[in-house]
Structure 1
Amino acid sequence: MTEPATGPARLEISRAEHAGRRARLAQRLQDSGLSRICVFGPVRVAYLTGFHFAATERPVALVLTDTGDVTMLLPALEAEHYAHQCPDLPEPLTYPEYPGGGSGRHPLTLLADHLRASRPGRVAADHDGYENRWGYRGPALSALLEQPVHDGLALIDDLRMIKSPAEIALIREACRWGDHAHRLMQDAITPGANELTVSHAASLQATRDLLTALGDRYVPKAREGLPANTMFISGANTAHPHGLHRNAGVQPGDVLVTGAYGVVGGYESELERTMHVGEPTPDFERYFAAMLAAQDAGLAALRAGRTCAEVEADVREVIAGLGLTHLIRHHTGHAFGLEGHEHPFLDLDDHTVVEPGMIFSIEPGLYVPGLAGFRHSDTVLVAERGAERLSLYPRDLPSLLIPAH
C-alpha cells in the first residue's frame, strides 16, 4: 500500500508494486524473445502503471520494452491527468484528438511511427490495435507496422491471476463493504418494495458509510458507479441467470436473487444470495438445499494444486447425485480483481492449475423454469491449504428470509 507522509495508508496499489509488475512483464518479454509489447486494454494499462482513466474512443496505449522502458500514447486531454497519477513515469507521447483533431493523422499512426523508430524486434500486443469502443474505428497495428504482431494477452493476464498481499487486502476491504450494502438492502426489503429504489437507496447509504469510515484513505479509481453497491431481482425472473429488473413491488412468496460488491483501490468483491419473502415452500427448500450443497462442494474443492476443471467436476458430481444436472446453466465461478470477471474460470474446459493467491467466485446455480433461480456467490481466496471465504454474509436459509408482513 502507498504510505503518505502522515496519516494511515491510502487504500491503493503503490508505485513500487506497479514498477514490480512492469519488471516481471519485461522479463517475460525477454523469455519469449519479444522486444516490446503494446498494451491497449484500459484495465491492463491501469494494472501496469496505476493510470486509471475513462476509456473512450480516444486510443490509449502503453509500450513496454524488454528492458522495462515505458512509453505511453495518450490524447492530449489526458496528459495532466496522467502526470498526476503517474509522476514516476516518463512524459507521454500525445496526439491532439480522435480521429485526428485537424492533424490529418489517425492517433495509431503516431504509435506506429514510435515503434518503427525503436530498435528492431518482435512486437506483441494484448490486442492488434485499439479496441472498438464508443464509435472508434482504426487500423490494425500489424497493418501499420507491416509485420506480425504476436499475441501477448496471456503475458499480462497470467501475472494478474496471482494476487499480491496488497491486492488481497483491498479485495478483503471491498468484501466488507459489499456485505454491509447487502445488509442494508435486506433490512429495507418489505412487501411492495420496488427493486430499483430499494437497491439504489441501500447502495447510496452504504457508500456514505464507507466514505465516513475510510475517510481520506479511500481513493476513487473511476468516474462512474459507487464504491458500495447492491441490487436484487425477484420472482420467476430469477430463473434467468442474468435476469433484468422488474418495475413491480416485491410480493409474499417471491424468490429474490441478490448481488452486492465493494470497490476499493479499483478492486472488486462479489456476493450473491438467494432469499425468500415469507414462509418458504417445500420446493424452495429442496432447491435451496441443493444449491447450498453445490456451493459447499465448490468451497471444499478449491485447493492449490488442483485444476479449475477438477473443481468444476466435483461440483457437478454433487448436483448430478441430486438428479438436478438439467438445471445447470453456467460454470461454478471465475477469477476477479480489477475486473468483475477475469481469467481463469472454474469450468470443465479450463485446466489452469489453482495456486495460492488466486481469488475466485464460487457460485454454482440451479435454475428452475417458471419457479426461480437459486444461487449464492462468495469471494474466495486460495490459501496455502484450502480456501478462505472473504465475503462473510450469512448463507443459511433462516438468515435469508424476508418477513411477509
Structure 2
Amino acid sequence: MTMLADTRYSNRRRAVAAAFAGDRLDALVVDHGVHVRYLTGFTGSNGGVLLRKDLSATVATDGRYTTQIAEQVPDLQAITASACAPTLAATVEGPCRLGYEADFTSVSQRNALEEAVGEDVTLVPVTGLVEKVRLIKDEGELDELRAVAALATQALSELIEAGELAVGRTEIAIAADLEYRMRKLGAASTSFDTIVASGVNSSKPHHSASDKVIESGDLVTIDYGALLRGYNSDCTRTFIVGEPTDFAREIYDVVYRAQQAGVERAVAGTACKDVDAACREVIREAGYEQYFVHSTGHGIGLDVHEAPAAAAKSTGELAAGMTLTIEPGVYIPGKGGVRIEDTLIIRDGAAENITTYPKELTVIS
C-alpha cells in the first residue's frame, strides 16, 4: 500500500517538475498546505516541500510533526524547521532559479525567502503552476471524491427520511442535524458552512442558516458538503415543505431544466463558457435571466472551489478527469429562490454524476 501511495505522489511531483522546468526554473519551494499534501501526502498544519528539476525533493515540518511526516512521507528526506519555506530555500545551491508560489506568499514571507538564499539564487514568482497540474484528477483522487460525495448523499437521505426537514423547525437546527449526520458517517468536518435557506431567505444565494422557522409552502435550499481524507463534496437540493405554490413549482421547473442542460453540455472538449451558456439560455427563455446572479460551476477536489470555472467569461475547455459542479439558480428578492447542484467527473462522453440524491421536485408534507 505504501508503494502505491509513493508512486502517486512521485508522479505528481514529476508532473510539477516538468512544468516548472518548462519555465526555466531549477527548483520550486512550496508551503501552501493543500499543495504540500497533494505533492507528498503530508497532512500536518505546517509543512513545505522543495522540488528540484532532477526529480529529487526534500520536505520540512516543525517538531510537532516529525513522527507524522516520517510515516506519511517515508520516501523523502525531512528537515525539522518552523519556517519551512525559508529553511528549504537555504539548502539550494546556486546558480539557481528558484520558484515560489506568489499567490500564497506574503510580502514578509517573500522577504524571509530573500534573506535565506544565497546571492546566486534568483527568486522567481510562480502563479498557477501546481493548480494546472491539479486540474486533471488521478484515479485515486476520483475515488476519494466519489467516497465523500456518497457520504454526503447518505447524510441528506437520512435527514429527510428521519423527518428532520419539517414545518416548525429552524434553519440552524436542520443544518446542525445534517452536519452531525455527516460527522457520524466519518466526515472530518464540513466543506463549508452549511446553507439552509427557507422562504424569502432562499432568494439569497449564500444565506447563513438562521433561527428562522420553516413554514408551510416554503422553498428550502440546502447547500452542503463534507470533508473526508482531505477531499470535498458539494451538493445543493431545493425542497418544498408543505403545499407548493404555483410560483415555487414554476421556478423549480426552470432551474431543473437549466441544470439538466448544463449537465448534458459538460463533456470533454466543451468550452467552459458554453456550459454556463447552456444553463443561462434556459433561464433566459423563461424570463428569469436577471435573477441568475452567479456563475454556473467550479471544480472541486482538495479545495471546495478550484479550477476549472464555468462562467460567461471562462476560458479553456473541459478535459476528461476534471471535475465540475453545475449549479444554476433563480433568486427573486422578497419571494424565494431555487438552486440545484451536482458534482460531475468529466468524461469523453456523458459526465459521471457523483451526487446521486434525487433532484426531481420533492415536496415534504
Same fold (TM over 0.5): yes
Say whether the 8 Å CA contact 1:195–1:250 is kept in structure 2. yes
Residue 373 of structure 1: CA displacement?
2.1
Determine the structure 2 residue equivalent to 1:176.
150
- Number of matched pairs: 360
Residue 42 of structure 1 aligns with an amino acid whose one-letter code is G
Determine the structure 1 residue equivalent to 2:176.
200
Of stretches 76-85 and 148-157 in structure 1, the one that deviates more from structure 2 is 148-157
Q: State yes or no: 1:297 paired with 2:271.
A: no
Residue 381 of structure 1: CA displacement?
1.1
Determine the structure 2 residue equivalent to 1:309.
273
More strand by share: 2
Q: Provide the rounded CA distance (Å) in 1 between the counterparts of 2:122 and 2:94.
A: 16
Q: Provide the rounded CA distance (Å) in 2 between the counterparts of 1:262 and 1:229.
A: 10
Residue 119 of structure 1 aligns with an amino acid whose one-letter code is G
Of stretches 360-369 and 69-78 in structure 1, the one that deviates more from structure 2 is 69-78
Determine the structure 2 residue equivalent to 1:264.
228
Q: Provide the rounded CA distance (Å) in 2 between the counterparts of 1:149 and 1:193.
A: 56
For residue 49 of structure 1, the aligned residue among 40, 59, 62 is 40
Counting only pairs closer than 5 Å after superposition, residues 155-234 of structure 1 correspond to structure 2 as 155-187=129-161, 188-208=164-184, 210-211=185-186, 225=189, 232-234=196-198
Say whether the 8 Å CA contact 2:96–2:122 is kept in structure 1. no
Residue 256 of structure 1 aligns with an amino acid whose one-letter code is V
For residue 122 of structure 1, the aligned residue among 97, 107, 121 is 97
Say whether the 8 Å CA contact 2:218–2:240 is kept in structure 1. yes
Determine the structure 2 residue equivalent to 1:32.
23
Say whether the 8 Å CA contact 1:129–1:138 is kept in structure 2. no
Say whether the 8 Å CA contact 1:35–1:66 is kept in structure 2. yes
Q: Secondary structure at the match of 2:18?
A: helix
Determine the structure 1 residue equivalent to 2:53.
66
Q: Provide the rounded CA distance (Å) in 1 between the counterparts of 2:96 and 2:11.
A: 23
Q: Provide the rounded CA distance (Å) in 2 between the counterparts of 1:54 and 1:372.
A: 41
**Superposed CA offset, 1:125-171 (max 9, x none):** 22276459xxxx64446643577643433221111111112211111
Determine the structure 1 residue equivalent to 2:364.
402
Determine the structure 2 residue equivalent to 1:103.
none
Of stretches 184-193 and 278-287 in structure 1, the one that deviates more from structure 2 is 184-193
Say whether the 8 Å CA contact 1:178–1:229 is kept in structure 2. no
Residue 333 of structure 2 aligns with an amino acid whose one-letter code is P
Q: Provide the rounded CA distance (Å) in 2 between the counterparts of 1:39 and 1:108.
A: 7
Q: Provide the rounded CA distance (Å) in 2 between the counterparts of 1:227 and 1:331.
A: 19
TM-score (norm 1): 0.82
Compared CA separation, residues 265 and 120, structure 1 to 2 (3 A):
same
Residue 87 of structure 2 aligns with an amino acid whose one-letter code is L
Say whether the 8 Å CA contact 2:275–2:310 is kept in structure 1. yes
Q: Provide the rounded CA distance (Å) in 2 between the counterparts of 1:74 and 1:128.
A: 21
Q: State yes or no: 1:279 paired with 2:266.
A: no
Say whether the 8 Å CA contact 2:49–2:88 is kept in structure 1. no
Q: Provide the rounded CA distance (Å) in 2 between the counterparts of 1:21 and 1:263.
A: 22
Q: Secondary structure at the match of 1:299?
A: helix
Say whether the 8 Å CA contact 1:128–1:142 is kept in structure 2. no
Residue 45 of structure 1: CA displacement?
0.7
Compared CA separation, residues 324 and 44, structure 1 to 2 (3 A):
same
Q: Secondary structure at the match of 1:91?
A: strand
Aligned Cα root-mean-square deviation (Å): 2.6
TM-score (norm 2): 0.90
Q: Provide the rounded CA distance (Å) in 2 between the counterparts of 1:228 and 1:33.
A: 38
Q: Provide the rounded CA distance (Å) in 1 between the counterparts of 2:84 and 2:13.
A: 24
Gaps of 5+ in 2: none
